[in-house]
């Protein structure tokens, strides 16, 4: 089981090892360097930086360079480095199915995968594709744009525990090259509420006071400030935000 691989790239995500965004990134990044994939065995979206310490993690080797783990993206990075002894030059987390803009960075398992790597002293980047329901998805194109972002930014010196959060826009044309803009996260939260839904349980022992509600929002209507990441991504720019996993002194 122990691999001891020296690779150019270690890939993970929070959509699961079978996600199209991760598979497309693996194909694109494999054209420019060696890689390994250690990713969750199922969808772990919005898990933030959760780690598993009280339960055993299952690790299944999929092929010579891929493993799936019954844990979170942060777990996957820990397993990859500490147990599988993979030694990457870069850790890439994504390409996520949906944007991770503004305050999304606090909820995102994709961002947490890159953050965990940064805490270990590794150069890392979270990669997310903003989506619109009225536009088709092209994961191969998203992966090529992700590689473009990495190519531009890989020579930039980062401080210890700093990492990149990259968001890819939805644009009309199919060209790979897009403008890349350095910007800060949007601090205003996405508006949301909860809708009552039909009882999803047939358990007759449940109290009459039990309710079922479901989160609802409109991502496209989220607040945006000029020059910050939401506005820039929505206007067609690849956004690059430099984040730090260090605590700031008050």
pLDDT for res 250: 56
pLDDT of residue 207: 63
Q: What is the pLDDT along the chain (250 residues), one digit of tens a residue?
A: 556 899 999 999 999 999 999 999 999 999 999 999 999 999 999 999 999 999 999 999 999 999 999 999 999 999 999 999 999 999 999 999 999 999 999 999 999 999 999 999 999 999 999 999 888 899 999 999 999 999 999 999 999 899 999 999 999 888 999 999 999 999 999 999 999 998 766 566 666 678 899 999 999 999 999 999 999 999 999 999 999 987 765 5
Beta bridge pairs of residue 68: 39, 60
Residue pair 125/91 in contact (Cβ under 8 Å)? The answer is: yes
Q: What is the pLDDT of residue 206?
A: 64
The per-residue pLDDT for 210 is 84
Residue whose structure tokens are 């910007």: 183
| 146/3 Cα distance (integer angstroms) | 27
Domains of the chain: 6-184+223-244 (3.40.1210.10), 192-220 (no CATH)
pLDDT score, position 186: 98
pTM recorded for the entire structure: 0.94
The DSSP code sequence of 12-62 is E-SS-TT-HHHHHHHHHHHTTS-EEEEEESS--TT-TT----SSPPPEEEE
Q: What is the pLDDT of residue 136?
A: 87
Q: Quick count: other Cβ atoms within 10 Å of Cβ 5?
A: 17
Residue-level pLDDT at 200: 61
Question: What whole-number distance in Å separates Cα of residue 145 and Cα of residue 148?
Answer: 5
Q: Which residue is it, tokens 């909820």?
A: 107
Looking at residue 4, its pLDDT comes to: 85
Residue ranges of alpha helices (H) inside the chain are 20-30, 73-78, 104-107, 109-119, 139-153, 229-234
């Amino acid at each position: 089981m122990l691999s001891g691989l020296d690779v150019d790239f270690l890939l993970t995500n929070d959509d699961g090892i079978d996600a199209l965004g991760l598979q497309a990134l693996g194909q694109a990044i494999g054209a420019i360097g060696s890689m390994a994939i250690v990713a969750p065995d199922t969808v772990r979206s919005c898990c933030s930086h959760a780690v598993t310490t009280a339960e055993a993690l299952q690790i299944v080797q999929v092929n010579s360079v891929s493993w799936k783990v019954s844990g979170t993206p942060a777990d996957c990075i820990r397993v990859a480095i500490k147990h599988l002894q993979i030694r990457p030059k870069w850790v890439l987390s994504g390409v996520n199915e949906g944007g991770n803009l503004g305050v999304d960075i606090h909820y995102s398992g994709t961002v947490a995968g890159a953050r965990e790597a940064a805490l270990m002293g590794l150069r890392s980047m979270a990669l997310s594709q903003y989506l619109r329901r009225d536009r088709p998805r092209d994961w191969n194109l998203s992966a090529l744009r992700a590689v473009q972002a990495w190519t531009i930014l890989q020579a930039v010196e980062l401080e210890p525990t700093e990492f990149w959060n990259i968001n890819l826009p939805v644009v009309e044309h199919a060209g790979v090259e897009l403008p890349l803009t350095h910007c800060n996260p949007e601090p205003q939260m996405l508006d949301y509420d909860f809708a009552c839904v039909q009882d999803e349980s047939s358990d007759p022992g449940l109290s009459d006071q039990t309710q079922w509600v479901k989160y609802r929002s409109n991502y496209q209507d989220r607040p945006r400030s000029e020059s910050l990441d939401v506005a820039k991504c929505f206007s067609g720019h690849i956004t690059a935000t430099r984040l730090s996993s260090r605590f700031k002194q008050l």
